[in-house]
Amino acid sequence: MYQGRVELTSKDILEKEFSIDTRGYRPQEVDGFLDQIIKDYRAMTEIIDELIDVKNKLNDENLSLKEEIRNLNMKIETLKSAEGDNSSSADVLRRLSNLEKIIYGKE
């Protein structure tokens, strides 16, 4: 999903070799810092994967709720047409309110 947006993997960082110069960086410091980067990078990848899972679950739940709303709206329309002109606006509003309570869990 995020392929191409992140250039380095934790393996790339781990296997990175630096050239050593007489006036260069101390290899122990570089290695220590790279170890910290690898740890953070792995943690970030795990967080991203968890967030993707949460997003997918929420999308599924959202689709399910939209379908339920569509079905309830169809039932309302069916009831309206079955009752014809005999039903009052107050009765329709009461039924709609009851259906919304069912959908949103407020009783």
Domain containing 92 equals 10-104
Contacts 24+ apart (CB under 8 A), 100-105: 102/72, 103/65, 103/68, 103/69, 103/72
Rounded to whole angstroms, how far apart are CA atoms 96 and 73?
Answer: 9
Token pair 């009461």 in the structure block, residue: 94
| 95 within a domain of the structure (yes/no) | yes
Kindly report, residue by residue over 2-37, the tens digit of the pLDDT.
555 667 777 888 888 877 777 777 778 888 888 888
Query: Domain count of the chain?
Result: 1
| 32 within a domain of the structure (yes/no) | yes
Rounded to whole angstroms, how far apart are CA atoms 24 and 31?
Answer: 14
| 66 within a domain of the structure (yes/no) | yes
Report whether 2 contacts 48 (CB < 8 A): yes
pTM of the model: 0.55
Per the document, the length of the chain is: 107
